[in-house]
Amino acid sequence: MRVLKLAFTYLRIGIANEMQYRVNFFIQLLQSFVSLGTGLIGLALVYNYTNELGGWTRPELLAVMGVYIFMGGIINAAIQPNMGRLMEEIQAGTLDYALTKPADGQVLVSIREFRVWQLVDVVVGLVVLGIAVDQIHQRIGMLETLEFVAALLMGAVMIYCFWLMLTSTAFWIVRVSDNIINLFQGVYAAGRWPVTIYPNWLRLGLTFLVPVAFAVTVPAETLTGHLQPLTLLEAAGLTLLLVALARLVWRLGVRNYSGASA
């Protein structure tokens, strides 16, 4: 499909671009390790006082952190750069360039940017996850792996749709939107822990308002045996809903978009 080819082209350009700034790799490496370090210290502090949290044992909590870092890497590599650029272009009125290209607008603005060095987090996350899963002694077979991948994919798509809708608010209210993004970053941090430990109202918010639960907790559940039977079905439903909603919001936004004023 043309879309895939286009995506690969952008990917190639993005990587080639980033390769020039090899120092960014080392900076990213440092940031990832510092982040990992503080995360592990946080976990260790909790381990000091308890062996399990909300039904999650120590290695299971580590697994959640692994998925959190992994998903964070994907968001920072593929989703955040595009949404950030989209926000800037809406505010500056330079979105026209993207809208007048022969590819679908939404697809284009979503795949243009790729920060390859953020993938360090993906690797770090997988390593942490691997270590955690090893300690869990849970049987990870074909079914679990498939469930895991499916959950990850749906989680990522949901985050993308959510973020797209968040960014699209800039079509209507220009100034405040930057801060809304800050808000999301803060809320995503809640994914470090399994959402089941949060009070009900918070858990609901983290499931249906900001899909952190589906991005982090659910994939972790697939590998730790916590997965409820209907969860993946719910995830699928919510994913479809968000995709449709995001598309709708995007189109409305574009129609409302007037471009750079004189």
Partner 1 sequence: MRHYLDFYLTSMKIAIQEQFQYPVANYFYMIGMIAEPVIYLVVWSTVATLQGGTVGGYAPGYFAAYYIVWTLVRNMNIVFTPYGWEMRIQRGQLSGELLRPIHPLHSDVAYFAGWKVVVIVLWLPLAACLALIFKPSLNPTWLQVVVFFIAIWGAYLIRTMLLSLLGMITFWTTRVGALYELFFAFELILSGRLVPMALMPGWVQTISAFLPFQWTFFFPINALVGNPTTPDLLYGLGMQLVWIIAGIFFARIVWRLGIRRYAAVGN
- Any bridge partners for residue 57, and if so which? 52
Given the complex with partner 1, which of 179 and 261 has the nearer CB atom? Answer: 179
Helix (H) or strand (E) holding 57: strand 56-57
Given the complex with partner 1, which of 82 and 177 has the nearer CB atom? Answer: 177
Q: What is the smallest separation between the CB atom of 195 and partner 1, expressed in angstroms?
A: 10
Q: What is the smallest separation between the CB atom of 60 and partner 1, expressed in angstroms?
A: 15
Q: What is the smallest separation between the CB atom of 255 and partner 1, expressed in angstroms?
A: 26
Given the complex with partner 1, which of 66 and 191 has the nearer CB atom? Answer: 191
Given the complex with partner 1, which of 50 and 261 has the nearer CB atom? Answer: 50
Q: What is the smallest separation between the CB atom of 156 and partner 1, expressed in angstroms?
A: 21
Residues at the site binding partner 1, with contacts judged by CB under 8 A: 26-27, 30-31, 34, 37-38, 41-42, 45-46, 48-50, 52-54, 175-176, 179-180, 182-183, 185-187, 189-190, 192-193, 197-199, 202
Q: Using CB atoms within 10 Å of the CB of residue 229, give its burial: 0 to 12 exposed, 13 to 18 middle, 19+ buried.
A: exposed
Give residue 157's identity as a one-letter amino acid code.
V
CA 234 to chain centre: 18
